[in-house]
Structure 1
């Protein structure tokens, strides 16, 4: 995958022709997550997302986009349609701060206020990094889960994850050099701990403190105080990675040079 990304950016360099434009903009929308607390719905939003970006349009089809997005994802077994999940009774909220660089390809020739097409579908692919901080509520207060090592990990999992963004959308030249777009994009990550859930229940003796014991197995809160997460039994879905997604709108302004008209 890194070789594919490098090939995209090399393509940008060799297609760096006269029709170069800079573009700046912002985004607003929703974020969602696919992982151990949401295994079946890839378009389920669970929080908001806002972002800023700067883009270099190398020509009418190809561009490179530097993007920063702040979002929040969450999940709760109590809202699941599955009785098994409701009995497990885990939940989390995770703020995400993502910085990424993406290659974008327009299917139609497009430069706002300088081309014949007012709209175009597009796709994108890139790479980036995100920070993530899973939390859960305990006695009415948010508690960070990483340091609690709720599955008996020898060490805390990383604060950062590598992400591979990919997605598609459609953009429209609303007025002059202004463009509005709507897109749906996913992030493949190299972590299974966006939700602090991955493997099996650990014995209480392997957990660092009382808060960890409480948050590692919350099934007793729904079962008369009797926990059902026996050590060694399944806690997560055993899939090796979590995903997250963004869906929303962007508004951008393009600094079109005179050479772009030719």
Structure 2
């Protein structure tokens, strides 16, 4: 019984110490954990010009470092989905009846720098209640456009459509090389550029609203780029795989329309609401080798990162 009482006492004392340390307002918080949700919209060859919002959700999480009074360095992981469908385009706006569609699950890892309009004072809890900011950076995107195999394929020279055994099955379009002989990588470099506004909710919590455009260096987010359809002679119609590839490449069986626009790369739009929680940050200080680089709470100067020489003792 005494052991149980002793363990319970130690547990309560430990929790009290941790709580006091974590929520101490004397500890300057330069590390910020972030997480948010929002929506993503594809800006590509299969974008519906009649709509501006997409119900496809995204989830993100990351960490920020307050490097200077205006500059934050951020790393971020974004999971999101994009989609597009010719069948959903307003007939008055759709000049091409390609019968093409895609859906893609994507992963983006990025590093960005954000610049705040108002200064972050050394005592983090005295920060502005509202603070707009802009940001830009670089990231790596993994994308995988997918679509359902049509139930039939129009093979040149055949009087009737040929039934496909795997009709209705969703597959990765990159695997089928639908714009032969042009294949593409499912990895792309992206440039995130955007703006947001941050609201102080409590000493330790901010909420921000953010909109950004991702400039990409690929035109295949939707598997559509080339102006012309692939030459039928590049498909072996005796093989089931090539029959499926041709059906995915040219579902209508005609080459009279333009398939895509190779003049412009694809983009995507991200709109998010994020929670930002200020951390004590000892673990990250050690991880990134910046332990001991603290704000001087009296002068507001930072030592060790941008300034040389000894720092004055803080209270």
Deviations 1:203-239 (A, max 9, x none): 22213611111011123xxxxxxx3324xx5200233
Q: 2:216 aligned with 1:192, yes or no?
A: no
CA 1:215–1:195 in 2, change beyond 3 Å: closer, same or farther? same
Q: 2:203 aligned with 1:206, yes or no?
A: no
1:98-113 paired onto structure 2 within 5 Å: 98-110=108-120
Query: 2:108·2:142 contact (CA, 8 Å) conserved in 1?
Result: yes
Taking only aligned residues, the RMSD between alpha carbons, in angstroms, comes to 2.3
Gaps (5+ residues) in structure 2?
Answer: 1-27, 150-166, 237-241, 281-293, 301-315
CA 1:212–1:196 in 2, change beyond 3 Å: closer, same or farther? same
Shift, 1:119, TM fit: 1.1
Shift, 1:39, TM fit: 6.8
Query: 1:100·1:127 contact (CA, 8 Å) conserved in 2?
Result: yes
> Which whole-Å CA distance do the structure 2 matches of 1:234 and 1:63 have between them?
45
Shift, 1:98, TM fit: 0.4
Structure with greater strand percent: 1
**Matching residue within 62, 83, 89 for 1:53:** 62
Query: 1:61·1:109 contact (CA, 8 Å) conserved in 2?
Result: yes
Give 1:217's aligned residue. 250
Q: 2:258 aligned with 1:234, yes or no?
A: yes
Query: 1:68·1:100 contact (CA, 8 Å) conserved in 2?
Result: yes
CA 1:210–1:58 in 2, change beyond 3 Å: closer, same or farther? same
Gaps (5+ residues) in structure 1?
Answer: 1-18, 220-226
1:103-142 paired onto structure 2 within 5 Å: 103-110=113-120, 114-138=125-149, 139-142=167-170
> Which whole-Å CA distance do the structure 2 matches of 1:238 and 1:107 have between them?
38
> Which whole-Å CA distance do the structure 2 matches of 1:188 and 1:42 have between them?
20
Deviations 1:15-35 (A, max 9, x none): xxxx87111111111011101
